[in-house]
Amino acid sequence: MNFYVVLALLSALCMASSGIIARYSGLGAAELTFYRLFVGAFCLALLLLSRGELKLLKTRPDWHVLLNGILLASFMLCFLLAIHSISLANAIMLVYLAPPLTSLAAHWLFGEKLNSASSLCIIFAMLGFAMMQQFKLDLALTPAQLPGFVYGVLSLLAYSAFLLLNRKPDPAQSLYQRTFYQLAIGACCVLPFLAEAKLPVAADLPWILLAGIFPGFLAILWALTALQHLPTRVYGTLAYIEPAAVILAGWLLFHENLNLLQLAGVLLILCCGIAQTLLARPAQKA
Q: 48-80: per-residue pLDDT in tens?
A: 999 999 999 988 888 889 999 999 999 888 887
Which one is predicted more confidently, 137 or 167?
167
Is position 176 within any domain?
Answer: yes
Boundaries of domain holding 201:
2-121+138-229
Angle of CA points 112, 275, 127, to nearest 5°: 90
* pLDDT digit string, tens, across residues 159-212: 999 999 999 888 878 999 999 999 999 999 999 989 888 889 999 999 999 999
Is position 280 within any domain?
Answer: no
Q: What domain count does the chain have?
A: 1
Is position 272 within any domain?
Answer: no
Is position 41 within any domain?
Answer: yes
Q: pTM for this one?
A: 0.88
